[in-house]
Every structure is written in C-alpha cells, then in structure tokens.
Chain A
Amino acid sequence: MTQSDPGRLGWWARLKRPSAKHSVLALAAVGFVGGIVFWGAFNTGMEATNTLQFCVSCHEMRDTVYQEYQYTIHYSNRTGVRAICSDCHVPKDWTHKLIRKIKASGEVWGKITGSIDTKEKFEAKRLELAQHEWERMKARDSIECRNCHSFEAMSPELQKKTPYKKHMEAKAAGKSCIDCHQGIAHKLPKGYKKPGTDDEEE
C-alpha cells in the first residue's frame, strides 16, 4: 500500500531522515496536539463531538462502520429511538469521558499516520479495534447498553422465550450484555468466532 503512495512514502522517508527529523516531527507533534485540542474543544464546548456527524466526519469512520450501522436496528426501528455512535462509545460521566477522550487521541494519531485509511488496512486492524471496545465495555458491565436497556425492564410476555431465558440466566450469572451481543451495530471482524458458540468443526 505505502509503496504505491509516493506522497506518503516521502513523508515517512523525510521523517526518518535524521537531518530533517526535528522540523517534521515538531510539525507532527503540533498537528497531534492540535488534533487533541480540536477533539476536546468539540467535546466540552458543546456536545457536538457526540453527534453522529462529528464521528463520521472522518472517512475512516464514514466508509466503514457507519455504512454497516445504517442497516442495523439501532439506526432505524419501529419506535424511532436511535442509538448514535456516542451512546455506545462515549461514556456519559465526566471522568470516564475524559479517559475515553485521551484514548481517542490515538484516533487522531491514527488519522495522521493513516492507520486505517484504506479498506484493507481497516479490515486488517478491525479485530484489534473491536477487542479494545469489548474490553472497555466489559470493564464497566456494558454501562452504555444499560443506559437504555436493562434485564429488569425485559418483559417475559413480550420478549421471545429463548432470549428471555438466556437473559434471566445471564443476570443470575452476572454476565454483561457485551459477553453475548457482539457485532450488533457493525459487522464482526472477518472470520471472528464469538465465544461460547462451541463449535465442533475442524
């Protein structure tokens, strides 16, 4: 990929060359910090960071996960309650929001370095990115899901029997939504197997 992109190759080559290192690195650092500030300004100044539009302003998000999300129930459903990117990915409380924001500086860095700027690169990195989100959600008992859903509010009459039974077992066993509900808003990484679907093939 990089080979066929002379522009980027030049950028990297220059970055790696000792003589030019300072100025270019300084430039990158300024861009990096600037990006964080930009991200932060949006986030605190107004809730704009949390809007769908902000998240999909980067093609890395727009051309990939956003496309899939549009086909899912959280985008469009019977009752018209939409869960947007930030509902699932940005914590509501201040401290965790800040942590997420600092981690999000990795996204600014990723943008600068082009970590997922092609479909191929995205697919190659997808499992890793998904795992970060699974870990993050698991660590807080899927709080983002539970801002809207809860085991308590599930109706034994209205929910299908199999899920209802699973949910009551899960509640008793202290399981979290994300243990079972992976790939609800996006495609799963290619070839990924969910845990627990014991599989006798191969």
Chain B
Amino acid sequence: MKYQSRMIAMASMAAFALAGFSPAALALDVEAAKDLAEQNNCKQCHGIKKDKDGPSFLKTAEKYRGKANAEDEIVKHLTSGKKVKLADGSEENHKIVKTMPPNDMAQIKNLAQYILSTQP
C-alpha cells in the first residue's frame, strides 16, 4: 500500500514535470500517439524525420515551434480534411484522423502534441 501510494506520487510528479516542458496541461502519451498514427496510416505519407508525400513530423514541429496556437492548428488540420497537394502535384483531401470512440479530442490532441514534440 505504502509502496503503491509512493508510486502514484512519483508518477504524478513525473507527469507534472513532463507537462512543464510543453504548454499543454496533460502529459503526452507517446505510445498512444504512435499507435493512433499507425492505425490511421499516417506514416504512409509522413516520416518522423523524412519527407514523403507530406512533410516530416519534424518539419511540422519546427514550423510551429514557439507558436501558441500550434496544437489548435494541428488539431484543425487533422479534423477538417482540407485539400493538400501531394508530391506528384495531384490534390486530395487530407486524411481525417479516426479514433475509437469517434472524435475523441483527447486522443487527437495527444497526437498533435506528439507531432509537435518531435526533436531533431
């Protein structure tokens, strides 16, 4: 019991520490973000550091580094399906991210944070 509550205290301290690095209030769950990207085939068009049809996640992170509205912009991008240009010049609507249950903003925000946290 004592051990358990100490673990909880430590975990929440770690969570606070993590949150301190990013402007967001919640701690980033990297594994959940990766799994969501995998399930949605995002990596078909985005490398972590490599451009494919779309920009690498690193490039996006750098584009938004230090911008206050970064997370909202990414969330909007992932939920609106606006037209984007592919490498071969053709256009198509950007993939709208699917979650289980549908439109779970917590999961989508977590994915946005994960993308924005990409480091060189």
| Chain A residues with a Cβ under 8 A of chain B | 67-68, 71-72, 160-162, 183, 187-188, 190-194, 197-201
Contact = CB atoms under 8 A, between A and B. Distances in A.
Interface residues of B, number: 22
Nearest to B101: A71
B102 A194 contact: no
A187 B35 contact: yes
B27 to A, nearest CB: 18
Interface of B: 31, 34-35, 38-39, 41, 43-45, 47-50, 53, 86, 90, 92-93, 98, 100-102
A51 to B, nearest CB: 23
A199 B90 contact: no
B38 A193 contact: yes
Contact of B38 (A72, A188, A200): A188
8 contacts: A71-B101, A161-B86, A183-B38, A191-B31, A193-B38, A197-B44, A200-B47, A201-B49
Contacts of A72: 100
Given A71-B101, A187-B100, A200 B50 contact: yes
A192 B93 CA distance: 27
A161 B38 contact: no
B90 A161 contact: yes
